[in-house]
Structure formats: structure tokens, C-alpha cells
Amino acid sequence: MKIIFNKTGEEGIKEMQGFFSKIPGTIDFADFTSDIIVAQEEVAKYIGDALLEKAITQYHLPEPAPEASGSGDGSDVEASGSGDGSSVEDVAELISRIQMAVTLMAYRDYAQNSDATHTGTGRVSRSDKDSDALNLKLIEQDDLALQRKGLKAMDRLIKFVDDKKFSEWVSSEAYKESRELLIWNADIYERYFPIERNRRVFLMLMPMIRKVQLDHILPRLGATAYQALLTKVKSNVISEAADRQLYDLVCYPIAELALSEAFIKFPTQLFPENMTRQFWNAGNGAAALVLREKLIKDIEDQGMKSLVNLETELAKRAAVTSGEAITEVSIVDIAERMDASNLFARV
């Protein structure tokens, strides 16, 4: 695999230092190659192989590639806000953002291996034994800071790709799968649960969103109403008050239940710091574990309450449609509706 650095064979380290100045200039760039390849593969998981390959190919061209269409100055792309990413300026920015994400991830991996000397009998710490504890703590803090920088760079890259609607991105599996979701991007998710509009986190949440839709929303709406709502979401035609109300009632439990599941499945470090501050403040040990489980359970419980609100509205609409009076009997009582095994609203 080609890499997105060191075009001339002499500038690799300097290019990477432009994105993270703490990289020592004495490092041999060749030692970075495997870490860069792994980091590029990580980037491809989010933006797709085709778009990464496009950026690498453009990077290695001797001159910027001509635009496929447009005025030549990128103004047509900027004016519409939905360009296809073919302008010289957009591709240059794409390359830069990929390089930043790859630099931070690759250097973190490189530094982790460099904290020990590799000998014929195994690894030996470079640290002085008397300062091992302090050094270990500092290294852990620095490693976490590097990871957070890398994750922020990844989110910055995904946001740019999504905003510019590169054709390779729109045709990618990740994008096409997102359009099968009722909450299909980070900005929509933010309306129902704060995730800092983080595109990377949203892509992580997609499997959980899909599962909540199939396990909880589809059975309650029924196949016809569910498909009708999804079609309106895809077409961006949710404008009537009744549709908007239903959409809101559907999205709150999706956002809450999906996130509670994600907090169980993924390491805390993969989420933005503000989203997990309560987890970090809890520290370590059994007490912290209990608090973490409680916080996750609180989000899940809120999701189940949001499902109750959805079911109540569905019961009211069904009663109006049938011409029946809306009474306590026509709405499933709260205790029954809070039972996770009850997947259907009784109307």
C-alpha cells in the first residue's frame, strides 16, 4: 500500500511534524512505515477505501489534478455547499486532514513500542527503575492525550468528507447504511442526546441504532407505518406537525437506548471527554464500576420511558382513528409498558 507521506523520499518526518511538532526529528521515517499503513487502514474504515485511495493517488501526482468540472476556483462547490469534492482545493484539504489523523494515530503506536528496548531476550524498559512509577503515569497520560487528539482529527476528517459529499463517500457502504436509519447523522442525533455532533461517534453507534429500530420501533409502529416514516426521512419531507411529533417520539428512545448499549460495548476512551466525564471522575475500583453501571442504567431507563411516551401517543392515535373514546383502559398501563419483554403496544 502506498502511503500519504514522503512523496520526494526526503520529507516524511517534516510533513508529520507539521501536524504534531513533538515528533523527534532524529527518527528514521522508514521506522514509521508500518504504523502509517495501519493508521491509513483505520481511516479507511470510516471514510472508505475508495476515498482514501483517491487522496493517496492525488498526493503522489507531480501537479494538482485538474477539476472534473466547475469554474476551476472551487467557488461553485463552496457556493452550493454540496460539491462533489472534485475541486483542487477540496482534494488538498482532504489530503491534509487524512495526514493529520494518520500522523497522530501512527505516532501513538510508534511511541508505545519505543518505550521499551527490544533485545534478544525480550523487551527492557528504557526507564530508570527509581522513576518507573512516575514515568508510567506520565506516559499513560500522554498516551491518552495522543489518542484523544487522534480521535478529534478523525472526527474533523469525517465532518469534512460528509459536508463536501465526495462522490466516493456518498457511494460508500457506511453512507448508504446510514440512510437506512431514522437517525442518520450526528447533527440529528444531537437533537435527542448530546454527542458533541461527533461524526466518528455516530458511525460507531450505527449498529446500535439499527438494532433499536428493529427491536423496539418496528414492532411498535408496524411494518407499514415504519416504512412510511423511513421513506419520509430519506426524502427529507417530515414537515407536518403530526409527522414531526411522531419522529421526535421515535428518535428519543433510539438515541438513548443506542448510547446505553454503546457505553457497554465500547471502551470509555473512544468517546469525547465531555460525554464520559462522569466515568473518568469516578476513578478506578469497585465503586467506580458500580457508578458506571448506574449511569449506563439511567440512560437505558430513560430510553424505556421514552418508549412509553411513544406507545401512549400511538394508542391515542389508534383510538382517534377507530372513533373510540380514549380511556385508561385503551392505553397499556405503565407497569406493563415498562416491561422490556412487551414489544407491542396494546390499543
Select, from the ranges 64-73, 108-117, 276-285, the one with the highest average predicted confidence (pLDDT): 108-117
Contact assessment for residue 203 and residue 174, using Cβ atoms and an 8 Å cutoff: yes
Residue 219 located in a structural domain = yes
Contact assessment for residue 74 and residue 90, using Cβ atoms and an 8 Å cutoff: yes
> Within this chain, do residues 195 and 142 fall inside the same structural domain, yes or no?
no
> Within this chain, do residues 269 and 314 fall inside the same structural domain, yes or no?
yes
Give 288's pLDDT tier (boundaries 50, 70, 90).
Answer: confident
- Tell me the residue range of the domain where 86 lies: 12-116+133-170
> Within this chain, do residues 232 and 314 fall inside the same structural domain, yes or no?
yes
Q: What is the pLDDT of residues 221-268, one digit of tens each?
A: 999 999 999 999 999 888 889 899 999 999 999 999 999 999 999 988
Residue 121 located in a structural domain = no
Q: What is the pLDDT of residues 310-328, one digit of tens each?
A: 999 999 999 888 766 555 5
> Within this chain, do residues 212 and 141 fall inside the same structural domain, yes or no?
no
Q: Number of folded domains in the chain?
A: 2
> Within this chain, do residues 139 and 258 fall inside the same structural domain, yes or no?
no
Residue 288 located in a structural domain = yes
Q: What is the pLDDT of residues 219-229, one digit of tens each?
A: 999 999 999 99
For position 342, what pLDDT does the model report? 52
For position 128, what pLDDT does the model report? 55
123: β partners: 118
Residue 226 located in a structural domain = yes
Least Cα distance to 3 among 84, 72, 99 occurs for 99
Give 338's pLDDT tier (boundaries 50, 70, 90).
Answer: very low
> Within this chain, do residues 146 and 186 fall inside the same structural domain, yes or no?
no
Average pLDDT, the chain: 84
Residue 214, pLDDT > 90, answer yes
Residue 128 located in a structural domain = no
> Within this chain, do residues 18 and 160 fall inside the same structural domain, yes or no?
yes
Beta strands 122-125; 116-119: pairing state: antiparallel
Residue 246 located in a structural domain = yes
Residue 93 located in a structural domain = yes
Is pTM, for the whole model, over 0.95? no
3-state SS assignment for residue 219? helix
> Within this chain, do residues 146 and 16 fall inside the same structural domain, yes or no?
yes
Residue 211 burial (CB < 10 Å; 0-12/13-18/19+)?
middle
For position 283, what pLDDT does the model report? 64
Higher confidence at residue 89 or residue 123? 89
Residue 82, pLDDT > 50, answer no
Residue 279, pLDDT > 90, answer no
For position 80, what pLDDT does the model report? 37
> What average pLDDT does the segment 186-197 reach?
95
> Within this chain, do residues 156 and 199 fall inside the same structural domain, yes or no?
no
